[in-house]
Structure 1
Amino acid sequence: MNGRPAESGEKPSADGMTVVSYLLGGLAVWGGAGWLADRALGFEALFLPIGLVLGLVGAIYLIITQYVRF
């Protein structure tokens, strides 16, 4: 992530900007989908919070699967 290839046995560190972009991207995409669903179906704010939560959970899942090794 820092422009250098990882040496053998060395795990690459998580790039902070990548993690932040996953979080913001998940919120934007799924929150936007929830907002569009609210607009299309005539609700005030039903699907927007659901979309935001789904986007956040999905982003955290991606971050954990890519950067956290147990």
Structure 2
Amino acid sequence: MSERADAKGAEEAPRANAMTVLSYLLGGLAFWGFVGWLADLALGFETLFLPIGLLLGLIGSLYLIITQYVRS
């Protein structure tokens, strides 16, 4: 039975479950949002880099999801 599972797993593309996709989205937003917030804090801006960081996090996480699960 393990031989069949190994052969089947080698042929199939990786499947994304909802928790993996959600964690990529939230992780990207949280990390790059925090980096943007730190940049605002360090450079003395109110909210200039926070939305930029959130946008970069969203774009980066969507790119990661697409490259791992849609194109493969």
Shorter-chain TM band = 0.7 to 0.9
TM-score by length of 2: 0.82
Please report the TM-score for the alignment, with normalisation by the length of structure 1: 0.84
- Match among 49, 52, 56 for residue 51 of structure 2: 49
Which of structures 1 and 2 has the bigger CA Rg? 2
| Aligned 8 A contact 1:6 1:12 in 2 | no
How much is the aligned-residue C-alpha RMSD, in angstroms? 1.8
Distance change in 2, residues 1:13/1:44 (3 Å): same
Question: Partners in 1 of 2:23 and 2:7 — Cα distance?
Answer: 23
Unaligned stretches of 5+ residues in structure 2: none
Using a 3 Å threshold, how does the CA distance of structure 1 residues 25 and 5 change in structure 2: closer, same or farther? farther
* Distance across 2 between alignment mates of 1:64 and 1:41: 34
Identity of aligned residues (%): 70
- Kindly tell me: are residues 15 and 6 of structure 1, through their superposed partners in 2, closer, same or farther at Cα, counting changes over 3 Å? farther
Aligned length in residues: 67
Question: Greater relative contact order: 1 or 2 (C-alpha under 8 angstroms, separation 6 or more)?
Answer: 2
Structure having the larger proportion of residues in helix: 2
Deviating runs (4+, > 3 A) in structure 1? none
